[in-house]
């Protein structure tokens, strides 16, 4: 019998990628979304995870930096930790503990438009302001530096000359929803 692969998901907001992954793996007996962690105990992502019957763990930034969150995560024996709209920087000790097991999706084609403060609409505004003709998403492993971990996969979308932040955000979110489950599956199969 195959070992069940455990996933932990970290969110800070609405968690649409989290919900997509929970739904995708719900009927897969070989993969379990063990828990959803969040630094925002009342965020929509936590509420939706609870509605889906997933264990949730809320924590403070202090608990993340003290090592408490890493201890809790280790107890759940994750095969993969997925950051799905998680906005806090992961401490070096945490990334060292789970090296090669923390996946993030960034809403641009890294190394362009990455780094501190580059998330969500901030990225899309910068991409449009720079006159880029394409954008996309980057799946990468997480290390102690913002958006500098090894790139796993990238997916592109065109930017129209009249592109608005909101329409680019929709294109990027569609790419995330389309590709997130298959990227996670490939990593779990390794």
Listed by start position, the domains of the chain span 5-189
Active site (annotated) includes residue 106: yes
Task: With H, G, I as helix, E, B as strand and everything else as coil, classify residue 69.
Answer: helix
Answer for the pair 69, 37: CB distance below 8 angstroms, yes or no. Answer: yes
CA triplet 79, 80, 81: central angle to 5 degrees? Answer: 135
Give 29-56 pLDDT, tens digit per residue: 999 999 999 999 999 999 999 999 999 9
Q: What is the CATH number of domain 5-189?
A: 3.40.50.170
Instruction: Tell the residue number behind the tokens 């809790």, with chain if given.
Output: 72
Q: What is the pLDDT of residue 1?
A: 55
CA distances from 38 to 57, 58, 88, 96 (A): 6, 5, 10, 20
Residue 177 buriedness (CB in 10 A; 0-12 / 13-18 / 19+): middle
Catalytic residue (choose from 65, 106, 140, 177): 106
User: Residue 66 — pLDDT band, cuts 50, 70, 90?
Assistant: very high
pTM (two decimals): 0.95
* Residue whose C-alpha is closest to residue 120's, from 165, 187, 77: 165
Give 126-185 pLDDT, tens digit per residue: 999 999 999 999 999 999 999 999 999 999 999 999 999 999 999 999 999 999 999 999
pLDDT surpasses 60 at 6? yes
Query: Where are the alpha helices (H) located in 52-164, listed in sequence order?
Result: 61-66, 68-75, 92-97, 120-129
* Residue whose C-alpha is closest to residue 159's, from 114, 125, 183: 125
Rounded CA gap, 85 and 82, in Å? Answer: 9
Element (H, E) at 180: helix 165-189
Question: For a pLDDT cut of 70, what percent of the chain falls above it?
Answer: 99
């Amino acid at each position: 019998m195959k070992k069940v692969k455990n996933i932990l998901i970290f969110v800070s907001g609405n968690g649409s990628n989290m919900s997509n992954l929970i739904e995708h793996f719900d009927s897969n007996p070989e993969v379990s979304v063990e828990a959803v962690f969040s630094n925002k105990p009342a965020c929509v992502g936590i509420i939706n995870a609870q509605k889906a019957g997933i264990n949730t763990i809320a924590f403070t930034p202090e608990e993340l930096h003290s090592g408490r969150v890493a201890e809790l995560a280790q107890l759940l024996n994750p095969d993969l930790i997925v950051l799905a709209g998680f906005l806090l920087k992961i401490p070096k000790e945490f990334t060292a503990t789970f090296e090669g097991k923390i996946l993030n999706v960034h809403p641009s084609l890294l190394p362009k438009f990455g780094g501190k403060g580059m998330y969500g609409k901030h990225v899309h505004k910068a991409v449009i302001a720079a006159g880029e003709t394409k954008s996309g998403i980057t799946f990468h492993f997480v290390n102690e530096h913002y958006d500098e971990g090894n790139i796993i996969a990238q997916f592109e979308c065109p930017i129209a000359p009249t592109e608005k932040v909101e329409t680019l955000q929709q294109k990027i979110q569609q790419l995330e929803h389309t590709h997130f489950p298959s990227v996670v599956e490939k990593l779990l199969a390794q």
